[in-house]
Amino acid sequence: MTSRSNKPSIAIWVGIVAVVAIVGGLVLTMDPAPPSGPETTEAATVASDLSASIVPPTTVQLRSLEDVPAAVRTALLAPTACGGTAPTFFPEMQFSAPVNQGIDSPLSAVLHTSCGNITIELDPSISPLSVNSFVFLASEGYFEGQIVHRLVTNFVLQGGDPTGTGAGGPGYTIQDEFPSIGTSYPVGTVAMAKSGLPNSTGSQFFIVLAAAPHLGSQDGLMFNVLGHVTDGFEVLEAINALEVGPSGGPAQSLYLEGVDILP
């Protein structure tokens, strides 16, 4: 991961900011209740193929703590989970579309979290658009320094939102690539979150922590599947044991420090 040692330290910024209430709203439609808000706006572009060959316009800004979203700022004032260290960089990136990564076979991604590393195998044969987008965002450094904003004990862990609110996205959405109704989402499944709207998958993803037989049982409970966890189940167990805070995320702040795509 890229070093950003020249950025202001957390200790300095924390001393000058006040606690700000976390903005409510989760977007993952993973139970019968409707989502409270879309992950992306109506203006977002839906990526429906892999034909893009030109790098889309990108806005990247490394922000100080004063400028980060309120949810992230609040999280930084809390202790970091598992004795980890809070990040000192906060990338903000928006894209018009993902660039074709030329993926034609399974590959691995390592999620670096405050509690340790989680390795997942990405399978483009299941959801080629979603896997392509995830690899593109990871390669751009999009996930670095993000707060993991949702933890439902014995159900799911959800991240991938740079705003930390459950309503953020990369600037585009991905076409639905749902498996057939009745497909199971066993423990360790990694899939993309969505709002209640069609083709609303963005950058947020979730990992199934325990058996969830209702997932995949009906149209509203179908999600684009990225792949499955192959290593780091002990890390998932440690995360699952964390206390859940009033915002719906871990009470001790859990960060996605970055995602490495392995050759």
The values of phi and psi at residue 205, to 5°, are -135, 165
CA–CA distance, 262 with 44 (Å, rounded to integer): 29
- Grouping H, G, I as helix, E, B as strand and the rest as coil, residue 239 is helix
The whole-number pLDDT of residue 65 equals 65
| Per-residue confidence (pLDDT) for residue 90, from 0 to 100 | 74
Q: Over the stretch 104-115, which tens digit does the pLDDT of each residue have?
A: 999 999 999 999
Q: What is the pLDDT of residue 43?
A: 39
In 3-state terms the chain splits into helix, strand, coil percentages (rounded to 5) of 15, 25, 60
Instruction: For the domain covering 10-261, report its CATH number.
Output: 2.40.100.10
**Gap between the Cα atoms of 238 and 51, Å rounded:** 40
Distant-in-sequence, close-in-space partners of 40: CB < 8 Å, separation ≥ 6: 169, 170, 171, 172, 173, 195, 200, 202
pLDDT at 15: 36
- This prediction has a pTM of 0.80
The reported pLDDT for the residue numbered 63 is: 57
Q: Where are the domains of the chain?
A: 10-261
Three-class SS string for 61-95? EECCHHHCCHHHHHHHCCCEHHHCCCCCCCEEEEE
Ranges of the chain whose pLDDT falls below 50: 1-43, 52-55
